[in-house]
Amino acid sequence: MKYASAIESPIGKLTIIVDDGSVAEITFAEKDIEGLMPDELTLAVSQQLQAYFDGKLQIFDFPIQQKGTPFQHEVWQNLLLIPYASTISYAKFSAHNPLAIRAIAVANGKNNLAIVVPCHRVIGSNGKLVGYAGGLWRKQWLLQHEREVAQRGQTTLKF
């Protein structure tokens, strides 16, 4: 069964979609959720996202399950290991499989769980912000927000 909620955030409207008891999507993209009702989980996710934006939450603790290949799931699991308020370059993120750097970047771009699976924490090797489906301005905002909340971290790599 599918459920949905939409919330306003400091960086735009977020749509939350739950499918079969797990969060399947959190997206900035416009989604037609007409006919879908909120449930306990979408409301809990809304509260956790609000706490994140308020600077009171750094780790999410609800069930997630997005559709993807085994390779994409591996990349998304690795994204979850990037600490709050930290960044990592695509080269370092793919160091365990350097020949797959482009495939890893593509899988990163197919992440449907914005903020929660923190693809915004992966940046270019030169320290530039690259490739965020929600727009680079949102990526910059998220990184800056996390840095300010944690009072550490950086939004670009420094050499």
Task: Tell me what pLDDT residue 153 has.
Answer: 54
Gap between the Cα atoms of 2 and 65, Å rounded: 13
Q: Which CATH number fits domain 70-150: 1.10.240.10, 1.10.10.10, 3.30.830.10, 3.40.430.10?
A: 1.10.10.10
User: Check: CATH 3.30.160 for 2-54?
Assistant: yes
Gap between the Cα atoms of 67 and 126, Å rounded: 31
Q: Are strands 88-89 and 2-9 parallel, antiparallel or unpaired?
A: unpaired
Q: CATH topology of 2-54 equal to that of 70-150?
A: no
To the query of whether residue 85 is one of the catalytic residues in this protein, the response is no
The whole-number mean pLDDT for each consecutive block of 10 residues of the chain, a chain of 159 residues, reads 96 97 95 94 98 97 97 97 95 88 93 97 91 93 95 56
Gap between the Cα atoms of 102 and 154, Å rounded: 24
> Could you tell me the residue ranges of all domains in the chain?
2-54, 70-150
- Give the pTM: 0.91
Give the list of residues 6+ apart from residue 35 with CB closer than 8 angstroms, or none. Answer: none
Go through the chain and tell me how many residues it has.
Answer: 159
The one catalytic residue among 36, 64, 85, 119: 119
